[in-house]
Amino acid sequence: MNLIGNIIWLICGGLISAVGYLVGGIVLCVTIIGIPFGLQCFKLAGLVLMPFGRKIGYGSGSFGCLTVFANIIWLVCGGLLTALNHIFWGILLAITIIGIPFARQHFKLVEVSMMPFGKRID
């Protein structure tokens, strides 16, 4: 069932979103300062590419002030807009019965797209 959901997800916009995250990650990795943010974009691209059957958890290890600081920078520089985009599409898809599974995936992506540092994708 996850395979069918992922294939439909790719056809209905998941591939375009993943390419957007990949391009953003490449652009961010051009500078030394942007490398951690670019790596988070690559992590999000992998999740957006195949969201069905994957879970988001908190990474192992200690979370220090750098994780909080990086999440704040991410939130201010585009994370909030990305999360609002996923909320919009989640609400729009939740209106139809067929779109409910895809809406759930968008709502799952809200948390990790808003604050990706310190998250683990299983």
Concatenating the DSSP letter of every residue in 69-106 gives HHHHHHIIIIIHHHHHHHHHHHHHHHTSSTTHHHHHHH
pTM: 0.85
- Confidence band for 23, pLDDT divided at 50, 70 and 90: very high
- Tokens 């195949």 belong to which residue? 50
Q: Which residues contact 95 (CB under 8 A, 6 or more apart)?
A: none
Mean local confidence (pLDDT), 98-120: 90
- Confidence band for 1, pLDDT divided at 50, 70 and 90: confident
Per-residue pLDDT at 91 exceeds 70: yes
pLDDT digits (tens, 9 = 90+) for 30-80: 999 999 999 999 999 999 999 998 888 877 666 678 888 999 999 998 889
Candidates 49, 43, 47, 10; CA nearest to 24 is 43
